[in-house]
Amino acid sequence: MAAVSASTAELESLIETGADRAGSPCVAPLPATDPMRNLADACLEGLAEIARQEARTAALKVRLTAEYLQATRALASPASSPRERAVQEMALVAEVACVLTVSERSAGALLSECQTLTTVLPLTLTALQAGTISWQHARIIVDETTTLDPDGAAALEAHFLDTDAPTPARGCPAGDLVPTRFRAKARSWRERHHPVSIEKRFTKSAADRRVEYVPDRDGMAWLSAYLPAHTASGIWERTTAAARSMQGPDEARTLTQLRADVAATWLLTNGTGAASGTADGGTGLGGDVPSPRAQVLITVPVLSLLGATDEPSLLDGYGPIPASMARRLIADGADSFYRVLTDPRDGAPLEIGRTNYRLTKAQRQWLRLRDGKCPFPGCNNPSLDNEADHLLAWADGGTTGISNLGQPCRKHHRLKHNSKWKPTGASMNNPPGWTSPAGRDYPSEHQDWEPPHWPDHILATEETGRDPDLEPPEDPFPEWHQFTAAHEFPAADMDGPGWPAPLDDFLPEAFVPQGV
């Protein structure tokens, strides 16, 4: 209540001051150097304060709902049967639904979320009350922790909300991410740290794959498919590539329309040719589903690729996928791949530099690894559709190094060149942020890289005697990434009897620990 009152007082101050100065409810007490600039800035401040007030009000709503739930249950007489208890719960939900004028389903979901926030997720409720995250962010944390045990739920919320956590999230705070992007990051962290192996969860979920048909208005309908991530991603990228190839001055259809027409044509004709490839991808699912040949970027830990660990890989535009899925994509679907050295301390890729104007193919792939998507705040546009761009123009002295490159989508590329929105500096690990015409700085989303998982037999062997609790040693060859940029990745026969290949077939001798 105190936090909500403070927000209300702040807004009242803005209104009163504005009424005295310019007859507008948005003008703040700023120096009268530029009245219209002051008006615009004060309106933005008011909107920001309203967003904080909405979050604090949501926190108050959570506490009131949870208190009502507790008090009502205390007032109710003990249920004599499961049926009577169910009726009591129905009455409780109906009361909340009526007082809030929402459906009973929405009221039931609210009661469940409020109970979780007040009993399991204290950091989330505190952040909501402080106004640093929105109600949408809080609901996402509740949703992503539903199947986690209490320790797992605490670890997830600490990762995003506690700056003193052992491995806090990188980049801008959780509340500065739009909810859809925050959900993607929270889901990615959950996939990597779930107590049940992603292999087991994938096998179970893949049994539920299906296609759904839902009639809609105006002679239209929805056709959706629930598929393994690599199959769905390959279909999406392939239809997008085909749609882009059809664009031109004489083509009136939009990319979205072309993509839909391409998919419909392929499904209703034999234009794609006969399907080929293994039937089940190693999961025992059955069905003739070919490996996607579209340009799909996956980041695979080398030890996972070699079969030494089951550490999840990252599928560009989706998130963590099982190691078996990544190995199948490489074995069956990859015409070529790049070796990218990552730092064993934090999992971040190492830079590949260049001084010429044009980017190498490796640098374009690097931008995809670093950014994952268009770096504009809240943009979901995937890397394949984005355009490489110099932050400081080449004509103004900018270099073609990773720290001076971004990959905005076409919309935000135009925004940069045709408005006062400007990207801020980047680095080899951090995508550029943005500065608005109003002078406000908006940090870009960062990917949450993590150190690779080293098998116990590598960190602790009789020969090395290493303690598995020790941190990885200092990098003995800090410039090795320059070597990798100039050498080809040795080809591997993934269908032969020697796959997975021994570790020393891929790494220089100095990098292979003794006893491995």
Q: Which of 199, 225, 247 is the last residue of a domain?
A: 199
Whether residues 140 and 251 fall in one domain? no
* Pairing mode of beta strands 298-299, 221-226: unpaired
Sign, Cα dihedral of 6, 8, 14, 20: negative
Give me the amino acid identity at 278.
T
Q: 109-118, 217-226, 343-352, 405-414: lowest mean pLDDT where?
A: 343-352
Task: Determine the structural domain holding residue 237 and report its residue range.
Answer: 212-294
Supply the pLDDT for residue 347.
61
Supply the pLDDT for residue 217.
78
Beta bridge partners of 320: 314
Whether residues 178 and 216 fall in one domain? no
The winner for highest mean pLDDT among 92-106, 244-258, 422-436 is 244-258
On the question of pLDDT at 351 being above 60, the answer is: no
In terms of pLDDT, which residue wins out, 448 or 252? 252
Q: Quick: pLDDT tens for 179-232.
A: 988 998 898 888 888 888 888 888 888 889 999 988 777 777 889 999 998 889
Q: Quick: pLDDT tens for 307-319.
A: 777 778 777 666 7
Angle formed at CA 411 by CA 409 and CA 415, multiple of 5 degrees:
110
Quick check: is 322 in a domain? no
Quick check: is 397 in a domain? yes
Whether residues 123 and 261 fall in one domain? no
Whether residues 185 and 253 fall in one domain? no
Q: Quick: pLDDT tens for 1-56.
A: 777 777 777 777 765 554 444 444 444 444 556 788 888 888 888 888 899 999 99
Whether residues 68 and 118 fall in one domain? yes
From residue 238, give the alpha-carbon distance in Å to each of 47, 194, 386, 418.
Answer: 42, 31, 16, 31
Q: Which of 294, 320, 353 is the last residue of a domain?
A: 294
On the question of pLDDT at 132 being above 90, the answer is: yes
Percent of the chain with pLDDT over 90: 15
Whether residues 120 and 249 fall in one domain? no
pLDDT band per the 50, 70, 90 thresholds, residue 481: very low
On the question of pLDDT at 461 being above 70, the answer is: no
pLDDT band per the 50, 70, 90 thresholds, residue 304: confident
Quick check: is 328 in a domain? no
On the question of pLDDT at 141 being above 90, the answer is: yes
**Cβ partners under 8 Å of residue 475, min gap 6:** 343, 344
Supply the pLDDT for residue 226.
93
Supply the pLDDT for residue 500.
45
Averaged confidence pLDDT in the chain: 74
Quick check: is 331 in a domain? no
Quick check: is 300 in a domain? no
Give, rounded to a whole angstrom, the gap between the first and last alpha carbons of the chain.
61
Whether residues 39 and 162 fall in one domain? yes
In terms of pLDDT, which residue wins out, 51 or 323? 51
Quick check: is 192 in a domain? yes
Whether residues 110 and 63 fall in one domain? yes
| Other CB atoms within 10 Å distance of the CB of residue 103 | 11
Number of domains forming the structure of the chain: 3
Whether residues 41 and 188 fall in one domain? yes
Whether residues 42 and 178 fall in one domain? yes
